[in-house]
Structure 1
Amino acid sequence: MRNLSTRRSALAAALLLSTASGAWAQEAPADAPAADEADGIVVTARNREEDINDVPIPITVLSGDTVAQQRVFTIADLTQRSPGLTATTPNARRTGVSLRGIGKTSGNDNMEAAVGAIVDDVFLGHVGMTYQDFTDLQQVEILRGPQGTLLGKNTSLGVIKYTTKAPTFDPEGTLELEKGFTRRAFKARGSYSTGLVQDVLAFRASFFLDKQDGDILNINPARGGRWHERNRWGGRFQLLFKPSSNFSLKLNADSAETNENSNTKPWIVDPATLDDGSPRTSSYSIRLARSYFNGYTPIIGSTTTIDMDQAEPLITRNSGVSLVADWDVGPVQLKSISAWRTLHFDAKNDSEQTRFPIARGGTLVDTEQLSQELRISGNLTNRIDFQAGLYLFKIDTETTSRNLFGRDAGAFYASSSQYAALNTAANLPFLRASLENVFSTTYQNPVSKSEAVFAQANWKLTDRFTVTGGVRYTWEQKDSITTRAATYVDGTALVATGNSTADAIRSTQLGAPYADIKGEPIRDGSFSWLINPSFKITDDVLLYASASGGGKSGAVAFLNDGTLANVLPERTTDFELGVKGAFFANALQLSVNLYNTRVRNYQNVTSYKDDASATGFSSRLGNIPGLRARGVELDGHLRVSDALSFNFGGAFNDAVYTDWSNATCPRNVVTTKDNPTCNNTGKQVVGAPKWNVIIGFNVDQPIGDSGFTLRVFANDTWRSSHNLEQLLSPYGFQKGYHLTDAGIGVAKELGGVETEFSIVAKNLFDTQYTTSVNDFSNNAPVGYDGVGPRRYVGALLRVKY
C-alpha cells in the first residue's frame, strides 16, 4: 500500500481535479430539505430532488427527525424500519447487508457487497466502512432493486443512501445527552452550524460518543467485566463555499473509531453425534475433556456468560474526506465528487474462548480507496432530461490473518492418537513445544481499479407517461497476491521440536508456508441496463414497471493452501411492477411493489472439502450457480390527525436457490465417497426470512395551553423463522421474533430553544436472537456470531435551536 506522502499527493490530485473541472452538477442542493410527510417526501434516489411519488423505484425514507427521535444510528437499526432489509453486524469485517435475502457478505476482504452504501454521494468500497454510528443526518433512503446505472459500483441489489445535514448560514445547533438505566451507558451527540461570511462561507461540525456496558459477563478473573459493549466516538466537519448563486464547493471530513470488548461468539451446542447416530470422535468438548485440562467444563449454551482471557479490544477506524463541486451553467448542471477513505480493523480474538492460553486469532485490515465522479445533467428537449457521467475508483486492501498459539495449544489441537502418545511426563514438553509461541500469518493484498461511464434519461412521451432508460459500462482490473508464513512470536525461525509426533501437530495446524503467490488477474467489462416506464394514473398516483440487469465482477481469490481459485462474475436480472402515491388528501402514503430477481453465479462465502484442514472443511469465496427472489413489498405512512400517525411495511419474500445441487454438506451430515455433497436446490436462501412485518406509530400532541407537547413513538418489527448458517445446517435456524423500540417524552420551547426530555427503549421486550450462526467443527461448537443486543432503556435530554 502507498506510503503516507503518496496518499496525500493522490488526494491532493483528486481534489485539484475536482476544482479544475469546474464543479459538476448540483442535482441535489447542499441544503436540500429533509423528508416531510406533510409537504411531500423529497428524495434524491436519482441524484436530483424529486417527490417520492414521482420516482418509479421502491424506496423507504427516514427523515432526520425520525432518526434522532427513534435512535436509528446503525445499519442494524435500519433493518427494523425497512421491509426486506437484513444485516449481521458482529464487527466491521464480518458485517453483511442484504435486501430481499440477497447480498449478505461477511468475513472475506476479496468480496464486494451487492447492496451498496453511499454517504453524501460517496460509495463505501469496503463493507466495514458502514460499521459506525451515523448521526446528524438529514435523511436515509433505502432503495430496493438494482440501482447500477446511476448509483455506481456494486449496487445490483439495492442501495442505502445517507445524506448528512449540510452547513447553514443561519446559526443552528443540537445537543443530546443520554444516560442508560438498564446498564451503565452514556451517549452524547451534537452539532453546530453557522455562516462565517454571510451567504458565502459556512461550516457545520458534529460529534457523537456512545459508551454502553455489554450484555455478556466474562467470568474469567483475569479479563472479567461486561463484553459486547459499545465504546465508540466520531465527528464530522463540513465547510461550504458559495461565491455565487450557481456555484458551490463543499469540503466534508469525517472520522469514527470503535474500541470495544465485542469480539465474542457464544457457544450454543456441541453435538455428541451425527445425523446417522454415530458418535463424533473429535470435538471441542472431547478435546477439553482431556486430563491435561484438569476437568475443565467450558461454557456451552449461554448467550450471557463467557470465560476467556486471550481476546483484546477490537479496534475499527473509519476516516474520509470529500470535495463536492456544483456548477449550474444554465443549459446543464455539472457536479464533481472527489473522495478518499480509509478503514483500519484490528481483531485479536480468543479462538477457543476458554481460560487457557490456547490460541489468539484475528485479522488485521487496512483499506484505502480513492474515487472521482463527474456528472452532467440537463434537458435535451422539453420532454427529455438526462444525466451522464464518468466514475473512477480504486481500492487497495492489505489483510493479514494472524494466529498466535499458546502453551496449551498442542494439548488442544492434537488428534486423539497424538495426544495419547505425548501426554506423558517425558513427552509433555514436546506436546507444548509443538505450538507454543508459534505465530502464523496469511497475507493478501487485493487491489481493484474500475472505470465506468453511465447515462440515464427520462423521456416524457405524454404529460402522464414517461419512459426511463439507462446504461452503464464498467471496466475493472483486479489483482492480488498472497503469502503464508510462520515464525516464533519474537520473529525467529521455527525449529523442529525433536519429536516427530509434535512436529506433525504443528504441520497439520499451520499448513505449508508459501511466498508471494500471484493471483490470476481479472480484466473484465460489464454492462448494467435499465428500462423503467411509469404512468401517472392521477396527479398523486404512479404506476410503474422496470426491467434491469447488472452485477459485479469476479474476484481474485485463493484456497487455504494458496491454490488459485478465482470467483466468477455475478449477474443479476430484475423485474419490478409497482404502484405508489398519496391518497385521501395526502393522509395516506402507500407503495406496493412486486419483484422477481434472479442471480447467476451468486458470490458467497461457502465451504469446500479440504482433507488438509483439521476440520476436513475450509471456507472460501465462491459461486452458487443460481438463486431467485420473488415477492411483494408494502411500505406506507398514515396520518390520522395532526397529532397521530402510523408507519407500516411488510414483505413476503420467496427467495430460493434455483441451482445449488453440489453444495458442501453441513457438519451433521455423514458424507461418503459416492455421496460427497448435498442438494440445496429449492431451499430458502440463507438469512432470508419469508415474512417481515413492520408497524409503528408516532404521537405529537400539545398538552392543553401549557406549551408542552407530548411525544410518544413505538416501532415493532417481526421476522419469520429462517436459517442463518451458510450451509443450511439444522443448527442454524433462528425462530421468528419481534423487536420493539419505544419512547415517551415531553417537549417545550424555552427562550427560543426547543427542549425535550424523554425515556427511550430499544428491544423493549428483551428478545433474544442472533443474526449469524457458525456450524460446529472439530475445534468449536455451534456459535452465535451475531447475538442481538438485549433490552436498553435510557433517559434522553435533547435541545435544539
Structure 2
Amino acid sequence: MKNNNHPSGASRRPRARASWLASAAALAAILPQAALAAEETTAATNTEAPATTVSEAPQGDIIIVTARNREESLVDVPIPISVISAATLEQQHVFTVADITQRAPGLTATTPNARRTGVSLRGIGKTSGNDNMEAAVGVIVDDVFLDHVGMTYQDFTDLAQVEILRGPQGTLLGKNTSLGVIKYTSKLPSFTPEGTLEVEGGLDRNTFKARGSFSDALIEDLLAFRASFFYDNQDGDILNVNPAVGGRWHEQNRWGGRFQLLLEPSDNFSLRLNVDGAETDERSNTKPFMVDPTTLNDGSVRTTTYSTRLARSYFQPYTPIIGSWDTIDIDEALPLVTRNYGGSLIATWDVGEVEIKSITAGRWFHFDATNDQEQTRFPIARSGSLVNTEQFSQEFRFTGDITDTIDYQAGLYLMRIETDTNGRSRFGRDAGAFFATNAQYNALNNPAGWLLLQEALDNTQSISNQHPISNSQAVFAQANWEITDRASLTAGLRYTREQKTSTTTKTIGTEDGSPLVSTGDPIADAIRAAQLQTPFETIIGEPIDDGAFAWLINPSYKITEDVLFYASASGGGKSGAVAFDNNGTRRNVAPEKTTDFELGVKGQFFDNVLWLSANLYYTKVRDYQAVTSIADTNSSTGFSSVLGNIPGIRAQGIEIDGTLTPFDGLTINFGGAYNDAVYTDWANATCPRAFPSSIPTCDNTGKQIVGAPKWVGIIGFNFEREVGSSGVSFYAYANDTYRSKHNLEQLLSPYGWQDSYHLTDAGIGIITEIAGARTQIGIAAKNLFDVQYTTSINDFSNNAPVGYDGIGPSRTINAVVRATF
C-alpha cells in the first residue's frame, strides 16, 4: 500500500532535518488560532495530511502544518501561524471566510456579496467592489492563488485544514501579497474506501444543508479518486414587506462540488487532477437603511435627503423603512448569481537531489447583480455589476539540499487574469420624481409635469465598462541554514514583473434598444442628463510595466526542544493599478509597499498541558491602496467612489493565544490581540458627508483605521467523554469572539461606528457507532445570543440614508447528523 499521508504540495522525500526552516510566506504574526481549541481531543484518522491542531492533539502529539510547502511541527515553524483542523471545520461548521474570522484574532472579513468581499489582517488589507484592485490578503486553495476576491465567496468543505499566514508573502510560493495569506488544503484521494455524509436542518429558517464525500482506489496502488459536494439552503432573515413581491432576503442558496484524481505510479512521482465548481443564486444583496440625518455636524439643515425626496406629493402616501434590521420594502432587485469554476493539474517528481513540482491551473468567475438601489416599492432605480473573470497560472517549484545544513526552495510563477465588468444603472418610471432637485420638482409638480417627470428617466440606462488585464511573472527563492541544532536562519528573495492594461467605455440609452430622444422639456432633459451623465468612447488607460522585490530575513532559536524564539523582517507589496475616474479620466494607482517586523515565542509547557504563543508585530504600509470617496459635483450624490492611495498606515501590537488541556477530554482555548492600527499620513482625506461642503478635506492622521477593532478576544472549550462503558460519548463545545468598537465607513463617518460585540457558537450531542459508521447526532448553534452587528457601513448621501450592507446572520439552531465510514 502506498503512503498517502502527505499533503498536497508537501515533499514525500525524507529530510535529514526535522524542521524545514524555509519560510513561505513571509512571516508575520499569525497565531495558532485562538480557536485552535475548540477541537476534538483525538485527531481524525484518515489518509490525508495530518490535520491535528494544538487543542485537539493528545498530550505529546505533534501538530503538523504545511504553510511552507512541507510537513512541519508547528513548534518548529518560526512564524506565528493560525491553524484550523479538519475536526474543528467539520464539527463547528466552519465553511466560509466569515466563519474563519471567529477563530483567528486579527482576521476580519466583509462578505455582503462576492464582488464586495474584503479580507484584512490586523485591520489592513480589506478590498471592496473594484475589479482593478488586487487583494492584500491572498487566498490559496490547493496551491492555486485566487486573484479575484469574488472567487473566495463560497463554502469550502471536505478540507484537511486551513492555515493563516501574516506578512508579505512571495519568497516561497506563487503570487505575492503584501499582508498575508489564507491557505486552504483539501483532503486528498484515499486508496482505501472512506466517506462522510452530513445533513443539517432547522425549522426557524427552513434550513436544509447537506455535504458529503467519498474516496477509494480506482486501480489498486495506482489511481484513486475523491468526490465531494455541498448544498446550503436557508431562508433569509430580512422580510420584504412589499406585497407585490414579498419573500425573505439575506438568504443562502448555494451548492458545489469537487472531484479529484490522484495517480501515483511510483514512490517518487504523483499527478493530481482537481476540478471544482460552486454557484449561488440567492436573494442576499441588501443593505437596510438605518438613519437619515436631517442636519450636518455644524447644525445646518440638509435641504435634500432620501426622506424629503420620498415625502414629495408624487409618492404619497408612503413612509420608507428606516431603522429596521429585519424588514425592507423593495420591488426591483433580482437574486444575485455567482459562479466559481476551476481546475488544476499538479505534478510532483522527486528525482533524487531535487524535487520538482508543477502547478497548472485555470479559474473562471461570474457575477451578476441587479439591486434595488433606493430600496422602495417604487420603480425608481436598479443598479449592479456584471463581471466575468478568467485566470490562468503556471508555477514550478524546486526543492533540494545545498549542503547537510543548508536547504532551499526556488520557483517560477506565471499568471494572467482578465476581467470584463459592466456597472449598470437602470431607471424606472418614478425615477424622475425621485432624482429631480427641489427646484426641478417644484417646477413640474402638476399633472402635466408628472408625465414629464416619468418620461425623463423611464426605460433609460447607463453602462460603464472596464476591461483590466494583468500579466505577472516572478522568480523566487528561499534558503534555510541550520547554524546549530538549535539556531537557524532563513532568507528569501523574490522579483516580480507585471504588465497591466485597461480600457473604459460609457454608453447611455434605453433598455429596450429604442433611440434615446428628448422629452421636449428642458427641465426633464436636465433631470435625465444628471443621472445618465456624459457618455464616452473607449479610453485606453495608462499601461503599467513595472517590477518589484520582496524579501525575508528570519532567525530563530530553540530554547528547548518544545520552545521556539523567533524574529523576522520582511518586505513586499502589490503592484499599481490602471484606473479611471467615473468620467473616464485616467488616474493610475501607485504600488503598495509593506515592511513588517515580528518578534515571538511559542511552545508547549508543563508536560504539554499548555500551548502558548505570543507575538509582537510592527507593520508599515506606504501608498496603501483603498477604495474611498472623493467630492464630485457631477454626481447626483455629491461624491464618487474611486480607487486611490492613502500615503501611510501602521499597525503595531501584540497577539497572544493558547490552549490548556487540564485532563483528557477537556480543552480550553484562549486568545487575544491588541492592535494599534492608525493612519500615519492621511492629512488630505475627503471629509465624511456629515461635514458641510465648505470643509472639503479632513486630517485623519493618527486615527484608527477603518475596520480595525483595537481589542479582540477569543475563548472557548471542547469537551468529549464516553458515558461509562456504553460506547456512547457526549460532546459539547463553545466559541466566543469579542471585538471592540470600531468604525466601518471608508471616510470614518460619525455614523460608521459598530459598537463592541460578542459572537458565540455552541453545540452539544452524542457520538456513537451505527451500522459500522461513526455517527454524530447533535445540535449546533451559530450566533447563539442573536447579536445584531454589521461588518460594512455606507454613509448617507443626497439619495440614500446610512446603509448597513454587511449585516451578520441572525441566530440559527439546527439539528445535525454526521456519519463517517
TM-score with structure 2 length normalisation? Answer: 0.94
Contact 2:9/2:143, CA 8 A, preserved across alignment: no
Tell me if 1:488 matches 2:510.
yes
What is the aligned counterpart of 2:234 among 212, 217, 225?
Answer: 212
Among 51, 61, 66, the alignment partner of 1:34 is 51
User: 1:783 aligned to 2:803?
Assistant: yes
| 2:698 counterpart (665, 678, 683) | 678
Give per-residue Cα distances to partners, 1:561-591, cap 9 Å, x unaligned.
0000110000000000000111222222221
The one-letter amino acid of 1:750's match is: I
**Alpha-carbon distance between aligned partners in 2 of 1:751 and 1:541, rounded to the nearest angstrom:** 44
Aligned residues between the structures? 776
Letter in 2 for 1:739: L
Maintained 8 Å contact 2:9/2:70 = no
* 1:715-758 CA distance string (max 9 Å, x none): 00000000000000010000000000000010112343101101
Q: Is the 8 A contact 1:637 1:645 kept in 2?
A: yes
CA distance in 2, matches of 1:785, 1:676: 26
Q: Structure 1's 221 and 722: CA in aligned 2 closer, same or farther, altered over 3 A?
A: same
Within the candidate set 246, 260, 285, 1:238 is matched to: 260
Question: Which secondary structure does the structure 1 equivalent of 2:99 belong to?
Answer: helix
Alignment partner of 1:559: what SS?
coil
Q: What's the counterpart of residue 17 of structure 1?
A: none
Question: Higher RCO, 1 or 2 (CA under 8 Å, sep at least 6)?
Answer: 2
Cα drift, residue 152 of structure 1: 3.3
Q: Which runs of 4+ in 1 moved over 6 A?
A: none
For residues 79 and 331 of structure 1, the distance between their equivalents in structure 2, rounded to whole angstroms, comes to: 41
Q: Which residue of 1 aligns with 2:489?
A: 467
Equivalent AA in structure 1 for residue 79 of structure 2: I
Find the counterpart in structure 1 of residue 353 from structure 2: 331
**2:721 equivalent in structure 1:** 701
C-alpha distance 431-671 of structure 1, shift in aligned 2 (>3 A): closer
Pairing partner for 2:739 from 701, 709, 719? 719
**How do 1:251-290 and structure 2 match up within 5 A?**
251-290=273-312
CA distance in 2, matches of 1:590, 1:149: 27
**Residue type of the alignment partner of 2:804:** Y
Kindly provide the amino acid, as one letter, of the partner of residue 115 in structure 2.
R
**Structure 2: how far apart are the matches of 1:139 and 1:28?**
19
Q: Report % sequence identity.
A: 68
1:421 Cα deviation from its structure 2 partner = 1.2
> 1:428: how far off?
2.2
Equivalent residue, structure 1, for 2:98: 76
Q: Deviations over 1:448-504 (max 9, x none)?
A: 010000000111111111010001100000000000001111123311111111111
Give the Cα–Cα distance (whole angstroms) in 2 for the partners of residues 401 and 736 of structure 1: 35
Q: For 1:729, which of 749, 760, 772 is the aligned residue? A: 749
1:265–1:783 contact (8 Å) kept in structure 2: yes
Contact 1:115 1:157 in 2 (8 A): yes
Is contact 2:602–2:614 with CA below 8 Å preserved after alignment?
yes
8 Å CA contact retained: 1:28, 1:49: no
SS of alignment partner, residue 509 of structure 2: strand
Tell me if the contact between 1:447 and 1:478 (Cα under 8 Å) persists in the aligned partners: yes
CA–CA distance in structure 2, aligned partners of residues 252 and 640 of structure 1: 41
2:815 to 791, 795, 799: 795
Question: Pairwise mapping of residues 14-413 of structure 1 onto structure 2 (< 5 A)?
Answer: 26-27=10-11, 31-36=48-53, 37-38=57-58, 39-413=61-435
Helix, strand or coil: the match of 2:112?
Answer: coil
Counterpart CA distance in 2 for 1:236 and 1:495 is: 51
- CA drift at 1:543: 0.3
The question of 1:692 aligning with 2:712 is answered: yes
User: 1:385 touches 1:457 (CA, 8 Å); kept in 2?
Assistant: yes
Q: Distance in 1 between matches of 2:275 and 2:359?
A: 13
Q: Deviations along 1:658-678, whole A, 9 cap, x unmatched?
A: 000000000001142xx4200
CA distance in 1: counterparts of 2:176 and 2:397, whole angstroms: 18
Letter in 2 for 1:760: A
Could you tell me which residue of structure 2 aligns to residue 14 of structure 1? none
CA distance in 2, matches of 1:334, 1:73: 32
**1:362/1:403 contact within 8 Å kept:** yes
SS in 2 for 1:410: helix
Deviations 1:128-167 (A, max 9, x none): 1110000001000111222232233242211100001000
1:435 correspondence with 2:457:
yes
Alignment partner, residue 642 of structure 1: 664
Are 1:603 and 2:629 an aligned pair? no
| Structure 2 counterpart of 1:587, one-letter code | V
Instruction: State yes or no: 1:516 paired with 2:538.
Output: yes
- Give the distance between the partners of 2:152 and 2:586, measured in 1 at CA: 30
- The AA in structure 1 aligned to 2:52 is A
Aligned-pair distance for 1:510?
1.2
Which residue does 1:16 correspond to in 2? none
Post-superposition offset of 1:505:
0.7
Specify the code of the residue in structure 1 equivalent to 2:113.
Answer: N
Letter of the 2:11 partner, please give it.
Answer: E
Are the counterparts in 1 of residues 142 and 184 from structure 2 also a CA contact under 8 Å?
Answer: yes
Please give the alpha-carbon distance, in whole angstroms, between the structure 1 residues aligned to 2:613 and 2:257. 35
Pick one of 454, 461, 466 that aligns with 1:444.
466
Query: Aligned partners of 1:27 and 1:628: how far apart in 2?
Result: 37
Please give the secondary structure, in 2, of the residue aligned with 1:222.
coil
Aligned to 1:552: 574
Q: Deviations over 1:755-776 (max 9, x none)?
A: 1101000000000000000000
Is residue 100–residue 655 contact of structure 1 (8 Å, CA) maintained in 2? yes
Q: Per the alignment, in what secondary structure is the counterpart of residue 103 of structure 2? A: coil
Deviation at 1:330, TM superposition (A): 1.1
RMSD of equivalent CA atoms: 1.1
**Is the alpha carbon distance of 1:489 and 1:182 closer, same or farther for their aligned partners in structure 2, counting shifts above 3 Å?**
same
Which digits, 9 at most, give the CA deviation of each residue in 1:316-373, with x for residues without a partner? 0101000000011111111000000011000000000000000110000001000000
TM-score, normalization: structure 1? 0.96
Of stretches 640-649 and 242-251 in structure 1, the one that deviates more from structure 2 is 640-649
Q: Secondary structure at the match of 1:352?
A: coil
Specify which of 597, 612, 615 is matched with residue 593 of structure 1: 615
The answer to whether the Cα contact below 8 Å between 1:25 and 1:325 also exists between their aligned partners in 2 is no
Counterpart of 2:365 in structure 1: which amino acid?
Answer: L
How far the C-alpha of 1:616 sits from its partner, in A, is: 1.6
Cα pair 1:205 1:235 within 8 Å, conserved:
yes
The AA in structure 1 aligned to 2:779 is I
Q: Deviations over 1:15-74 (max 9, x none)?
A: xxxxxxxxx974379942222423221111111111111111111111111100000000
Shift of 1:440: 1.1
